[in-house]
Chain A
Amino acid sequence: QSVLTQPPSVSGAPGQRITISCTGSTSNIGAYYDVHWYQQVPGTAPKLLIYKNTNRPSGVPDRFSGSKSGTSASLAITGLQAEDEAEYYCQSFDNRLSGVVFGGGTKLTVL
């Protein structure tokens, strides 16, 4: 069982907006540790999508955005495209475990 909880799956039609939640606790997200997000297309290595809660690396479209509040974080994707179909993971640090923790992953299906 993951320390960070994500919904197993989300779906949306092309052009729509979806959000993926990442729920933690007072020992990780709620302890003010940053949240990072990754996109993984099947058969490939994950790719950094959002870092430090809200920042996009160069080359990541502004359709992707992140937010954080309390013990949770969210990834939003607007203007959904077929190429966005992938698995998405959140990452943070947990001071009880003294290490990096990941969410269980969310599979995004573009209908």
Chain B
Amino acid sequence: QMQLVQSGPEVKKPGTSVKVSCKASGLTFISSGVQWVRQARGQRLEWIGGIVVRSADTNHAQKFQDRVTITRDMSTRTVSLELSSLSSEDTAVYYCVSGTVFPLGLSPFDSWGQGTLVTVSS
């Protein structure tokens, strides 16, 4: 199981972009997939997308098709989520999660980051 530590809270203006990072420790990083899930206050969990660490292959929810970029840096064991064209509806806690089942979409999320609050406000 990996330990995931995320970057700190962000406050952004509508129309701008945000980048959230997730640093992994543990032996299974290269053989894992890291995904992103968000949760608006009092709302359900919502899957955004993910990356296979070894190959850098990505997938994401159709809803975020044109706005999301997920990357990984093997040297720093970091996975990043960038979300563009922000609106107030993107205000949420963003979690990075990991699993080792492939394809990515079938994996349970056995490790969770602590969450990063992204607030979009003018």
Contact = CB atoms under 8 A, between A and B. Distances in A.
B44 to A, nearest CB: 5
B106 A34 contact: yes
Instruction: Label chain B's interface by main secondary structure.
Output: mixed
B110 interface: yes
Contact of B112 (A33, A47, A97, A102): A47
B44 A104 contact: yes
A99 B44 contact: no
Contacts of A91: 45, 108-109
Chain B interface category by residue count = 20 to 34
Given A98-B62, A99-B105, A105 B44 contact: yes
B7 to A, nearest CB: 15
Interface residues of A, number: 24
B86 to A, nearest CB: 21
Nearest to A58: B1
Interface string A57-86: 100000000000000000000000000000
A97 B45 contact: no
Instruction: Give the 8 A-B CB pairs with smallest separation, nearest first.
Output: A51-B108, A100-B47, A36-B108, A45-B112, A102-B45, A93-B105, A99-B61, A104-B44
7 contacts: A47-B112, A89-B44, A91-B45, A93-B105, A98-B105, A99-B49, A100-B35
Interface of B: 35, 44-47, 49, 59-62, 95, 105-106, 108-110, 112-115
